[in-house]
Structure 1
Amino acid sequence: MSLPSETDAPERGLSRRPVEIATALLLIALGGLVLYDSYGRGAGWDGGPQNGFFPARIGWIFLAASLFILWNAFRREDGVFVTYAQLGQVVRVLGPLLLFVALIAPLGLYVASALFIIVFMGVVGTSRWWSILLTAVLVPVACFWIFELQFRVPLPKGPLEAALGY
């Protein structure tokens, strides 16, 4: 007779039903906002479609689909939506990404990209330090050359680019 081991126990995590209900409620609110704005602009047909006519129709379809998601959330059998281990992996990717987005305004896109590459490759990847640094330098430099110098597309710059005259 064998004793149950830790691997036999079901993995714990976020339950499916609350996640689906929260998502449906968020989508219902978004659909309501679309409808509110559409009818505020005029969603009728006065010799032709008013500004909010087509967005209102899409808003009603969106609202109906959201209500269907909510209804299904209560009908469906509850289970684990995502395990805590899987959620940890998402946070490991999402954390550096949020940091990157937050640093674009104060540091500029290129410096923020270099820092993102360093953090992401260091946290998520298993790369060697020299490949991380090489990638963190070459990718932003290549992007600067392509977008700023070749295509003449200005991207957000920070103090480093200002110090270099860009």
Structure 2
Amino acid sequence: MSSPDETETTVRGLSRRPVEIATAIILIALAGVVLYDSYGRGAGWDGGPQNGFFPARVGWIFLAASLFILFQSFRSENTVFVTWEQLKQVTRVLGPLVLFVVLIQPLGLYVASSIFILVFMGVVATSRWWSIALTAILVPVICFWVFELQFRVPLPKGPLEAALGY
């Protein structure tokens, strides 16, 4: 009989090396954007720091760290970064979040929040339908009362708030 250490189990998923390489490339591109913008604004010292002086220094540090990540990704062991089952769980959370962000502009923050709560609790949670509906109504209404009426912080509004006079 073999022990658990001797039994080889195959875990399938997204490998670590491609994820690290992709992340490093994205970060290198972002560092390039920071450096391009910084030098476009002036990154020198002319009687004092120009607008892009400090961002350029941060951009160079960011670029160095990103290149280090890229270098290390080729040297690291290529293990499983995330299993397909774990990635499926992330997608279940990310999907409603992307929907929420997309709906803020056309519908306003409060209606988008209500839809987000409905979809998220419907997909991820195992709550009863009435508790999902109650939460989807009460949370945005309370947030509206707190931010718009009490603190007078204007947040993105849509057609519903316009129809109600806000």
Aligned counterpart, 2:62:
62
Aligned counterpart, 1:77:
77
Letter of the structure 1 residue corresponding to residue 61 of structure 2: I
Distance 2:158 2:57 in 1: 43
- 1:6-155 equivalences in 2 (<5 Å): 9-155=9-155
1:82 is paired with a residue whose SS is: strand
Aligned counterpart, 1:165:
165
Where does the alignment leave 5 or more consecutive residues of structure 2 unmatched? none
User: Number of residue pairs matched?
Assistant: 162
2:157 is paired with a residue whose SS is: coil
Distance 1:49 1:159 in 2: 46
RMSD over aligned CA atoms reads 1.5
Letter of the structure 2 residue corresponding to residue 164 of structure 1: L
Where does the alignment leave 5 or more consecutive residues of structure 1 unmatched? none
Letter of the structure 2 residue corresponding to residue 16 of structure 1: R
Q: Percent identity?
A: 81
Distance 1:87 1:74 in 2: 23
Which stretch shows the higher mean deviation, 76-85 or 43-52?
Answer: 43-52
1:14 is paired with a residue whose SS is: strand
Distance 1:89 1:145 in 2: 33
Scaled by the length of structure 1, the TM-score of the pair is 0.92
2:65 is paired with a residue whose SS is: helix
Q: Which runs of 4+ in 1 moved over 2 A?
A: none
Letter of the structure 1 residue corresponding to residue 109 of structure 2: L
Please state how far the C-alpha of 1:35 moved relative to its aligned partner.
Answer: 1.2
Distance 1:40 1:74 in 2: 33
Please state how far the C-alpha of 1:98 moved relative to its aligned partner.
Answer: 0.6
Letter of the structure 1 residue corresponding to residue 141 of structure 2: V
Distance 1:109 1:36 in 2: 34
1:48 is paired with a residue whose SS is: coil
Scaled by the length of structure 2, the TM-score of the pair is 0.92
